[in-house]
Amino acid sequence: MKLKICGMKYPDNILEVGALLPDYMGFIFWEKSSRYFDGVIPDLPKSIKKVGVFVNATQEEILEKIVKYDLQAVQLHGQESVEFCLDLRENLKQAQIEIIKVFSVDDTFDFEVLKPFEAVCDYFLFDTKGKLPGGNGTTFDWKVLEKYPSSKPFFLSGGIGMEEMEAVKEILKTNLPLYAIDVNSKFEIEPGLKNIELCKNIRRDALQCISTDNKIKK
């Protein structure tokens, strides 16, 4: 299981978190976010994939940010259509940029809406439905994932803290293709500024989950 630490904002803090070697680091390019990023990303270990988080941005905006910040993945957090994702995939094919399509989930979420997107993205990301496109800081009822009909790997997001890790481990014991967890607000001192000790703890637990997952698959 991979770890994504999202909502990075401050260069020194980015370097501190980067030293922990999360698999992904997220940078939010939605101007209404308190974690909006418009700075300089310092040099990070090559193993860390930099993710640009976008909300209903244009293709041009996304491509410009990919080049400017040397992104390895884009996360689409708005109402982007299948056609939009397909066009973006064609534009990014040569660069091998990962596309993560986000869906806001509540108890009534209809997983049938995912089917047309399976061929146009690399991963799904399930976040909690709320007032904001993301970053609402609460979890949804993960039991709804029992209805997940796809083999497409997914990120799990939405208010995940250390207290949720036991439930994450339980998901790993199932056949669900949980690929990564995406953490943010519960590991912060303030929006965009991560608590390094808490990040160390979640990195440790994520590594333990990898070990547990490998044993289960054997």
Give the model confidence (pLDDT) of 8-64 as tens digits: 999 999 999 999 999 999 999 999 999 999 999 999 999 999 999 999 999 999 999
Range of the domain at 75: 2-217
Which tens digit of pLDDT belongs to each residue from 136-166? 567 899 999 999 999 999 999 998 999 999 9
Q: Where are the beta strands (DSSP E) in the chain?
A: 2-5, 24-28, 49-54, 73-76, 98-105, 123-128, 154-156, 178-183, 188-190, 193-194
Q: Specify the DSSP element, H or E, that contains 132.
A: none
DSSP 72: S
CATH number at residue 51: 3.20.20.70
Q: Does the pTM exceed 0.75?
A: yes
Q: What are the tens digits of pLDDT across the range 103-129?
A: 999 989 999 999 999 999 999 999 997
Domain count, the chain: 1
- Give the model's confidence band at 130: pLDDT under 50 very low, under 70 low, under 90 confident, else very high: low
Residues 6+ apart with CB under 8 A from 36: 9, 28, 29, 30
Query: Beta strands of 44-174 (E only): which ranges?
Result: 49-54, 73-76, 98-105, 123-128, 154-156
